Structure 1
Amino acid sequence: MLSAESQRSQPLFDDPRARSLILGAMLGALCTRLASILLPIEMYGFMLHLSLPAMVILCVFMIDLLTGQHRTSDTSILMWMGTSIGVILDETLWLIVRNPPLVPSGVEQVGYWSTASLLFSIGGLLLFSIGVAIGSRTSKGEQILPRIETPHLAIASVVLIGGLIFFHVSQAMIRHDVPNEDRSLVILGYEIHHIVEGQILLMIALVLLVFAGEQEWPWRFAFLFTTIGALFVADEILYYQLIDVSDDAYFGAMTIISGAMMCTMLLVQMGLGSRHVGELEEE
């Protein structure tokens, strides 16, 4: 935990928050590489990756930080979150390119131990570390965050539940008329699923919350990025673990139910967490 008098910017590795996030991310990537001896596990049409629990941990702990159930100076929580981010970054490129390209002229599939995958993992860790370093240098110490109030819960409900409904209804309306590559973000012939965009939003939200969460606008952006990022991740949390990530699978009952369950869980967590923190402050 940061001491109360630590209210000025600190050298990077003298800041325990930055140290926990960066070392955690490196540890997560390293563990993922070592675990690749056994993972992913293929069963019942799924290819289960280490990034599955990592995404759950990242979403849950982000809600914890937002609601004040854990302080942004809690280095054990930040270490867990950093580790989760390292796992996610290490598997991102491989998961993106594991399927045939949507565009015939796209690049070929990239193996997990390929040079491209290794460089992407290192580059992702470097960018995350730079973001943490910038945040640490501009931070004035431990952040006392605003409380989550009823209007925030209402906004989160609209984003998580309304967004989930919008995703599936809008996609269902155009899926037969608009080719997949025209209604998706496609880079080099590969579809970038919105779960990847959600992971990036959560990482940005974490840096904002930990190093600038006491300020009004950084906190607002962190809140918005967290809710939208959690929606993007929840919508495809199990779908992205399928061996066949097809349109039919996205509109299947498993994808819809898992997304609804995770969105509901995160919303309940936010509501109960903010209520608990409010009761503690009143005592």
Structure 2
Amino acid sequence: MATGEDKSKDAPEGRFSQRLADMAFNAFIGTIRLLPARQRLGLAGWATRKCLAPPLGWYKRVYANLDLVWPDTPTERKHEIAEQAIDNLARALIENYDPKEMLARGSRYPLTGPGLPALEEARAAGRPVLLISGHYGSPVLPRAALLARGYQTAGFLRAMSNPYMNNRYVQNYRDVGGEMFVQGRRGTLGLMKYLRGGGMAAMLFDVFESSGELIDFLGQPAPTATSPAEIALRTNALLLPYFGIRRADRYGFDAVFEEPVPHTDPVTMMAEVTARLEARIEEDPGQWMWTHRRWKPKRVAKHRPAEATTSD
């Protein structure tokens, strides 16, 4: 009998309900891809805002996150941010299912930012580069822009819970180009080996990490993985924050590369990466993924070490 190690990556196993969900989603993707890219993305954003987000409670989650970090935000402004954030999420998802279009778009939009000279210098010297970003704008389109210019950029991502959707999700990232590593022990070791060989890779960091260090994010403590900084230190990789910032038409983008984060210690480095993302969110909050449960205050309270008490 075949073991779990022998199963084909192209034949995932999951629940029947997960297979049905994947079939329905693939049917939706197949239908919407009949439209040109701009119309497709606009329709996906509208349908998600009006039909999908309300029953899923996404608006309520955005409002709750905003109440936590920016409690004085007017109601109209909270709704505006929620609309933009949900629209951005829908566009990013649909974009992932057309790698050829992403690569073509990537070739048409510029690479910018003060970190470009350091990026080019590292490439010329064969020094590894770990590009790091958050769920802001489109973190995938800058990778497409790099690949269109000859930069072989690997990806590192977290697997989806639905194995059928995940199979396609990972393959789409591979189709954009470059190596692809999935979060976990095997994927992390593969990423480190790739970097030690002088490679360049991109990853995201701004999700709740139960075992992470408490680092203030928009004024509230958020458990944050320090593994990106640890990987950079262990491989001597340049840790370079980057952002795919959507333009006003929600189709064009700017791939912005910031100054590298100095190598110090993992917590200090991730605090700096967090600060870079904070600055972008404060500049244009509608581009960030407010639908994510980033803070989880009740779990953070349990995560804190007990404070020492004294008696009189």
What TM-score, normalized by structure 1, do the two folds share? Answer: 0.27
What TM-score, normalized by structure 2, do the two folds share? Answer: 0.25
More helix by share: 1
More strand by share: 2
